Amino acid sequence: MSELPRKAVARTAKLAALPLGYAGRTALGLGKRIGGASAESVLTEVQQRTAEQLFRTLGDLKGGAMKFGQAMSIFEAALPDEIAGPYREQLTRLQDSAPPMPTMTVREILTRELGPDWKDHLVWFDPEPAAAASIGQVHRGTWADGREVAVKVQYPGSAEALTSDLRQLSRVARGLGPLVPGLDIRALIAEVQARAIEELDYQLEAEAQRAFAAEFRDDHDIVVPDVVQESGTVLVTEWMESTGSLARVIREGTQEERDHYGLLFVRFLMDAPRRTGLLHADPHPGNFRTIPAADGSPGRLGVLDYGAVARLPDRQLPRSLGALIRIALMEDYEQLVTALRDEGFVREKVRIDAEQLRAYLGPFLEPASVEEFQFSRSWMQSQFRRINDPRGDAYAAMLRLNLPPAYMLIHRTFAGGVGVLSQLEATVPFRSVLLGSLPGFAD
């Protein structure tokens, strides 16, 4: 594959075939049931084949298709085990890898972006990619001053593929819903669309990464590689040695690793806005790397990929967010209804019952109400079932709430972060992290 598949018709056909493939396998499963196969075996087979087709297609196409798949992967912990099981391996693969493009294409891009003398600066270049993702792949190299570097090269045709994929995924969103039951596919696609174009601009990403690197340069827990050089579609940063990503810890980590890196992960998400005025808004596990201490014990957490970054008003998270959580933890839901209305979470003519609001928000606040909380797939699944049960008060309250535009990216980032903590099954002092980092919470 020399570049992203660029023919819109071909890409559209592959994406449009996803719900059709699921329908065909379901029909085949019905035939097997009539023939005597058990419902459980048929469901497992349908889900397994669906997972393989869905995430193979999203990964092979890269672009917006893969970006959407990575966004889905964060919420894997919320899915029931009988559904998530067949998807888990495919999702984990999608968090960390994608098919590479040929060396000749990479060299052509480097010549165009860094100039014909690029080899004078990049004195050694590994033609084999060290990592590949949705809109670019990373190669290892050595800069002229001796620094080991990571060279991120954007796939040709990324902009066209990104916009085309997300437009087509939006069209088939209704048909994709049954492939991953319970997720609001349309809302997830809309969120990816809203921030996707910024990720194509490597100069904008370099600006954000420099800000993070400057702030965390001497940090004991977090490592942010510095930027060496950038252009529109090539980004050269310092190389960061690691033993893998959080996807590895999710898959095979010890409980010590899960707790340690889970705490560093949530500290970074919550504390970086206070220190940089920026929110790292792409919390999928492949962006977070584990760097063991010299004795092999869990050490620092490396953070990559600054393409999706929210530039916060007043250079901090909204004080109202911490205040709303604090009021809810005080169990004053009458006051909370008023505060939510003032912030635009409840529209002017909408009426919401305080007890329904308690039913919706109460369980979500459990991690902030105790000294330590163990996130888990079972906890995440129980929240998912609760808010998606149309017979319950939580569902009724959810329908009456509105998410103001200023909170959309913050909400998606923190929801994704909780999803990652639940995949890690990490025990963390979540309340103390909020007390130290979230404006308005400790007032």
Claim to verify: residue 62 and residue 182 sit in the same structural domain: yes
Run of H or E residues at 132: strand 131-132
Claim to verify: residue 342 and residue 383 sit in the same structural domain: yes
Among candidate residues 238, 265, 290, the one where a domain is terminated? 238
Contacts of 257 by beta carbon, 8 Å cutoff, 6+ apart: 249, 290, 298
Which stretches of 252-360 are assigned E, i.e. beta strand? 278-280, 288-291, 300-303, 309-311
Q: Are 295 and 308 in contact (CB under 8 A)?
A: no
Contacts of 431 by beta carbon, 8 Å cutoff, 6+ apart: 367, 368, 369, 370, 371, 373
Q: Are 240 and 304 in contact (CB under 8 A)?
A: yes
Residue found under tokens 């995924």: 169
Claim to verify: residue 123 and residue 176 sit in the same structural domain: no
Claim to verify: residue 57 and residue 70 sit in the same structural domain: yes
Rounded Cα distance, 141 and 118, in Å: 12
Q: Looking at residue 225, which CATH number applies to its domain?
A: 3.30.200.20
Please report, as a single letter, which amino acid is at residue 264: L
Tell me if 249 is assigned to some domain.
no
30 — alpha (psi -120 to 50), left (phi > 0) or beta? alpha
Claim to verify: residue 51 and residue 178 sit in the same structural domain: yes
Q: Are 285 and 252 in contact (CB under 8 A)?
A: no
Tell me if 14 is assigned to some domain.
yes
Tell me if 267 is assigned to some domain.
no
Tell me if 185 is assigned to some domain.
yes
Please report, as a single letter, which amino acid is at residue 32: K
Nearest to 183 by CA among 388, 396, 402: 388
Q: Are 246 and 414 in contact (CB under 8 A)?
A: no
Domain with 219 in it: 103-157+198-238
Distances (CA, A) of 340 to 334, 345, 404, 413: 10, 5, 10, 20
Nearest to 278 by CA among 308, 301, 322, 309: 309
Quick one: tokens of 414? 């923190």
The predicted pLDDT at position 71 comes to 57
Claim to verify: residue 183 and residue 205 sit in the same structural domain: no
By DSSP bridging, strand 148-154 and strand 136-143 are antiparallel
Which stretches of 239-392 are assigned E, i.e. beta strand? 278-280, 288-291, 300-303, 309-311, 373-374
Claim to verify: residue 338 and residue 421 sit in the same structural domain: yes
Rounded Cα distance, 127 and 141, in Å: 9
Q: Are 288 and 302 in contact (CB under 8 A)?
A: yes
Claim to verify: residue 202 and residue 191 sit in the same structural domain: no
Tell me if 276 is assigned to some domain.
no
Claim to verify: residue 30 and residue 80 sit in the same structural domain: yes
One pLDDT digit (tens) per residue for the chain, 443 residues: 444 444 555 555 555 555 444 334 333 333 333 333 333 443 344 445 555 555 555 545 454 445 555 555 555 665 655 555 554 555 455 444 556 788 899 999 999 999 999 999 999 999 999 887 667 889 999 999 999 999 999 988 877 767 766 666 666 555 555 545 545 666 666 666 666 777 888 999 999 999 999 999 999 999 999 999 999 899 999 999 999 999 999 999 999 999 999 999 999 999 999 999 999 998 988 899 999 999 999 999 999 999 889 899 889 999 999 999 999 999 999 999 999 999 999 988 899 999 999 999 999 999 999 999 999 999 998 998 888 788 899 989 988 988 887 887 898 899 889 999 999 999 999 999 999 999 999 87
Tell me if 244 is assigned to some domain.
no
Neighbours of 62 (CB within 10 A): 29
Rounded Cα distance, 351 and 354, in Å: 10
Tell me if 264 is assigned to some domain.
no
Nearest to 18 by CA among 173, 137, 139: 173
Residue found under tokens 């085949």: 28
Among candidate residues 238, 267, 291, the one where a domain is terminated? 238
Tell me if 289 is assigned to some domain.
no
Rounded Cα distance, 387 and 356, in Å: 11
Claim to verify: residue 136 and residue 49 sit in the same structural domain: no
SS3 content of the chain, % helix, strand, coil (to 5): 60, 10, 30
Run of H or E residues at 367: helix 366-369
Q: Are 416 and 283 in contact (CB under 8 A)?
A: yes
Claim to verify: residue 339 and residue 378 sit in the same structural domain: yes
Overall domain count for the chain: 3
DSSP classification of residue 362: G
Rounded Cα distance, 176 and 197, in Å: 23
Rounded Cα distance, 329 and 240, in Å: 40
Claim to verify: residue 81 and residue 229 sit in the same structural domain: no
